[in-house]
Amino acid sequence: MSNLVDMSRKLARGKVTSRELVDRCLSAIADSEGEGSRAFLTVYEERAKAEADHIDQARTKGLHVPSFAGIPISIKDLFDVAGEVTRAGSRVLDEEAAAAVDCVVVSRLRRAGFVLLGKTNMTEFAYSGLGMNTHFGTPLNPYDRPSGRIPGGSTSGGAVSVADGMAAATIGTDTGGSCRIPAAFCGIVGFKSTSARVPRQGAFPLSKTLDSIGPLANSVSCCAVLDSVLSGGEGVDEESFPEIGLRIGVLEGYVTEKLDDHVAASYQTALARLSSRGVTLKPITINELGELPHVNRNGGLVGADAYAWHRTYLESRAEHYDPWVRARFEAGKAQSAADYIELIEQRARLIAVVRKKAHMFDALALPTVQITPPTIASLSDPELSNPINLLCLRNTAVGNFLDRPAISIPCHELGTAPVGFMLMADTGQDRRLLAIARGVEYAIRSG
């Protein structure tokens, strides 16, 4: 699919209809040889068609409609939609009451005219970077599909829905990498906003401290448009930040340890392309980032927040959890109040340290994930899946801990395993980061 701005123009000029766009996506979802049955947990087929027809009729009559009216997108299974039980990729919530109203994010998407195709699969309660789900199945990564590789999580189905042309874009959440990991693994763009930028009312939480909401799409432009809508704007794109004079700090040390050869080579090629276009690259090592495993040794903010939220469910409906996910929640029980207070203090200290050391740069660069997507079969044993999960989260979780916006852009050669190139900016600099990312994306993809 073309990007959202191009689609909007084609719809306005009558080059394509909303119904045509919706039908293409629904056809891809229904394809028995595709991943639709695993990528989507709910499909709003009839409603999506009716909305598309209504928008097309309004345009035919010359009535005013929003710029992006009629473009089909998907949303993660943890957003409230009025009249539906919000499952968050789990069976634990099956007996909960249906949502009374749409969550803020869904309301804003509808107001902008987007057509919601359905809710996408995810890691149960968003608590993993792998993207596997034992309740509803795991959508297979578009890369090397016969080998059955993981899509990355937790926004697994959403990433696959975009990569496979089942949606023009998707909306996910990111607590430790859940937009950026699946984007990197599936070869698309994923954006994590500053935590408070997009209202989280009506989105099932994992960590109220770290949760953020962001888009996954085929381009930085699409993510910029959706970030604008999600944060209460009109769907504004960003102009590319000038490459000449752009200063990027290339993080080394903690975030470049344990890179596999393909990731390392793809990342270095991307840096070389940026340098050749006049971008100023300067290595920077922030040794304090190496303290993160120790700081989070008792489960971190996610462990404490998640256990506090799930404590009642763990007591009353424990048997409905995936045992692997349940064990992660229960681990949060061991964290003391003193541990939590120390963690909050350490977080404030590290945020200040990184801000001071990185202030001279427009953005920081680092690989999104250290490895390429492994096979589902190779992760059947928790002794193997647990360390791989932590490795997948290693770099992306830095942005969440520091509350910095971050974006993953594909940097691999076509036909090879997907690799993500990540940019990270200071807290609240979301729109500036998106402008920077637009230019970086062009440089990386054009070679």
Q: What angle do CA 251, 443, 409 make, to 5 degrees?
A: 60
Measured CA to CA, the distance from residue 39 to residue 48 in angstroms comes to 17
Q: At what angle do helices 45-60 and 18-30 cross, to 10 degrees?
A: 160
Q: What angle do CA 335, 341, 346 make, to 5 degrees?
A: 105
* 49 annotated active-site: no
Could you tell me the two tokens for 50? Answer: 């009716």
* 90 annotated active-site: no
Q: Which of 8, 74, 76, 219 is catalytic?
A: 76
* 76 annotated active-site: yes
Nearest to 106 by CA among 276, 236, 226: 226
Q: At what angle do helices 382-393 and 323-331 cross, to 10 degrees?
A: 60
What is the DSSP code string of 29-83? HH-TTSSHHHHEEEE-HHHHHHHHHHHHHHHHTT----TTTT-EEEEETTB--TT
Query: Does residue 129 contact residue 154 with C-beta atoms inside 8 Å?
Result: yes
Query: Does residue 117 contact residue 48 with C-beta atoms inside 8 Å?
Result: yes
Measured CA to CA, the distance from residue 165 to residue 1 in angstroms comes to 7
Q: Which of 74, 90, 161, 178 is catalytic?
A: 178
How big is the chain, counted in residues? 447
Chain Cα centroid distance, residue 71: 20
Query: Does residue 436 contact residue 362 with C-beta atoms inside 8 Å?
Result: yes
Count of C-beta atoms within a 10 Å radius of residue 446 = 8
What are the E-state strand segments in 228-287?
247-252, 280-285
Q: Which of 18, 67, 154, 240 is catalytic?
A: 154
Q: Strands 189-192, 406-410: parallel, antiparallel or unpaired by DSSP?
A: antiparallel
Query: Does residue 267 contact residue 367 with C-beta atoms inside 8 Å?
Result: yes
Give residue 33's identity as a one-letter amino acid code.
Answer: E
Q: At what angle do helices 104-111 and 220-230 cross, to 10 degrees?
A: 110
User: For the chain, how are helix, strand and coil distributed in percent, rounded to 5?
Assistant: 45, 15, 40
Active site residues: 76, 154, 178
